[in-house]
Structure 1
Amino acid sequence: MKLTSIEGQSVPQTVFRTRANHQWRDVSSDELFKGKTVVVFSLPGAYTPTCSSSHLPRYNELAPTFRANGVDDILCISVNDAFVMDAWAKELAVENIHLIPDGNAEFTNGMGMLVDKSDLGFGKRSWRYSMLVKNGVIEKMFIEPDKPGDPFEVSDADTMLHYINPEARDPEFVTVFTREGCPHCARAKALLKAHDMTFEEIKTGMGTGVSSRTIRAVSGHSTVPQVFIGGKHIGGADDLEKYFGEMP
């Protein structure tokens, strides 16, 4: 299997069959790449273990940092149909990147990255790789080594971000435990938004599957909100206000 970098060349011109608002929508290569700086990562298939646990989630996490470093869009391209890609995006709660179905493998074949995975019952799929594309021209490619199995060594989000800016810093991930109708929770969320901090909200209470015992287990408290920033427990809304007041 020969996998060759095509840095310096234009991306393949093709039309992707996507879905929007329950309708078919054709999207061209020009629409995705022309006049933009775009990061692409491609993988063997939706719902597969490495793709779901590591490859896609990390790009989604680092998307704000990529954008702060001049990237206009991040695309995940896979030889899957639009229904599968849309369902996968919903299951993983993907908010910051676009999942593009290459159902007929035209783009992947044009990239020279179409490989035979019949031994897994997959048929023809994409080899795992990532690339930085500027105005439709491929500046840099990270292609996984030709090894048995599904190597995942160089196409990850951190490698790409380090290429774009070796000094780029990881964002501080923020999680907030809340409960419906809680005014202090609303205040905590407003404080985070005022400081331009993106956060994950975990709702607690009846029907959520997250109880006060869960909150106590992770934070030592049973009240809400409970805020965590960069893995550090901050506390409630008053604690968060004090935290921001002490920031340099």
Structure 2
Amino acid sequence: MLFSVFMPNSRIAMLPNKEGQHVPQATFKTRQNDKWVDVTSAELFDGKTVVVFSLPGAYTPTCSSTHLPRYNELANTLKAHGVDEVVCISVNDAFVMNEWGQAQEAENLTLIPDGNGEFTEGMGMLVDKSSLGFGKRSWRYSMLVKNGIIEKMFIEPEKEGDPFEVSDADTMLNYIAPGAKAPEPITVFTKPGCPFCAKAKSLLREAGLRYEEISLGNGITSRSLYAVSGAGTAPQVFCGGQKIGGSEQLEAWLGQRGQ
């Protein structure tokens, strides 16, 4: 199956759906512990079940606000349903990918730089974004790969710009495990220097739960916190829009959740 994609001020590219085929053989130039380390396609995919999502560039709006963060949130859920690794591949260099991963706190993902576009070109997903000053980049897509063979691809549709409709983490999770429940979003209101806030965050990390932290200050006051939570003390933890409370209530909630 072929998808034609029109890029403004560029040629029409035909994007192939490669389900049933082997992933391209490529060598990725990564940086690990301040050293160059070559990682091959075989090392990434052989003998494993891998979810891959590919995007136009690190630090770009949709990639940073939605695409990567949601895969990071759902990575443990995907792994609970048979996925060994969740990989993000972008036509960026190793330094950019490493810095972006740290900025995004993407500890549940493996970020792979395809700096020369070798893998992306082999996938048939290398497109011309010269009109934006990007040069050659990846079209946005995701795929499920088992032992190097592509089982399923979700390729964004033929539209101008950067459509984001089918390569998202929730679509992939629904394909792998229909009906699986995604984790509810967690928000923690904290106060700088608060030991109970530090405890609450530690409890969530130990439980493998990602959270958004909103720290008091910069216009967010104890009065603001009271208006939201009915309490002016920090921390205050919310999950899926429901109030859990402070660190002691969180500890009890986590205990019940694990039963």
Q: TM-score, normalised by structure 1?
A: 0.87
Indicate conservation of the 8 Å contact 1:11/1:29, yes or no. yes
Alignment of 1:177-196 (within 5 A): 177-179=189-191, 182=194, 184-185=196-197, 188=200, 196=207
Q: State the partner residue of 1:119.
A: 131
1:79-114 deviation per Cα after TM superposition (whole angstroms, max 9, x unaligned): 010111111112222121111100010000111111
Q: State the partner residue of 2:246.
A: 236
Query: Residue 43 of structure 1 is aligned with which of 39, 45, 55?
Result: 55
Unaligned stretches of 5+ in structure 1? none
**CA–CA distance in 2 between the matches of 1:190 and 1:119?**
45
Q: What is the DSSP-based 3-state SS (H/G/I as helix, E as strand, rest coil) of the residue aligned with 2:66? A: helix
**CA–CA distance in 2 between the matches of 1:190 and 1:45?**
31
Distance 1:8 1:226, change over 3 A: same
Deviation at 1:221, TM superposition (A): 2.0
Aligned Cα root-mean-square deviation (Å): 2.6
**CA–CA distance in 2 between the matches of 1:211 and 1:147?**
44
**CA–CA distance in 2 between the matches of 1:241 and 1:89?**
29
- Larger deviation: 45-54 or 126-135? 45-54
Q: What is the DSSP-based 3-state SS (H/G/I as helix, E as strand, rest coil) of the residue aligned with 1:65? A: helix
The answer as to 2:40 corresponding to 1:33 is: no
Deviation at 1:218, TM superposition (A): 3.5
Q: Which amino acid aligns with 1:220?
A: G
The answer as to 2:88 corresponding to 1:76 is: yes
Q: State the partner residue of 1:200.
A: 211
Distance 1:186 1:33, change over 3 A: same
Paired residues, number: 246
Q: TM-score, normalised by structure 2?
A: 0.84
Q: What is the DSSP-based 3-state SS (H/G/I as helix, E as strand, rest coil) of the residue aligned with 2:211? A: strand
1:136-181 deviation per Cα after TM superposition (whole angstroms, max 9, x unaligned): 1100011111221111111111111111011111112333334566
Indicate conservation of the 8 Å contact 2:187/2:214, yes or no. no
**CA–CA distance in 2 between the matches of 1:116 and 1:68?**
37
Deviation at 1:227, TM superposition (A): 1.4
Distance 1:224 1:98, change over 3 A: same
The answer as to 2:93 corresponding to 1:102 is: no
**CA–CA distance in 2 between the matches of 1:149 and 1:186?**
42
Deviation at 1:246, TM superposition (A): 7.2
Deviation at 1:202, TM superposition (A): 3.2
- Larger deviation: 143-152 or 209-218? 209-218
**CA–CA distance in 1 between the matches of 2:114 and 2:177?**
29
Deviation at 1:240, TM superposition (A): 3.6
The answer as to 2:158 corresponding to 1:149 is: no
Deviation at 1:235, TM superposition (A): 1.4
Distance 1:3 1:186, change over 3 A: closer
**CA–CA distance in 2 between the matches of 1:231 and 1:120?**
39
Q: Which amino acid aligns with 1:30?
A: A
Q: State the partner residue of 2:233.
A: 223
Q: State the partner residue of 1:66.
A: 78
Q: What is the DSSP-based 3-state SS (H/G/I as helix, E as strand, rest coil) of the residue aligned with 1:85? A: helix
Q: State the partner residue of 1:174.
A: 186
1:12-58 deviation per Cα after TM superposition (whole angstroms, max 9, x unaligned): 11110011111111111111111111000111111111111111111
1:165-222 deviation per Cα after TM superposition (whole angstroms, max 9, x unaligned): 111111123333345665644665576578x46143737578x996535533542322
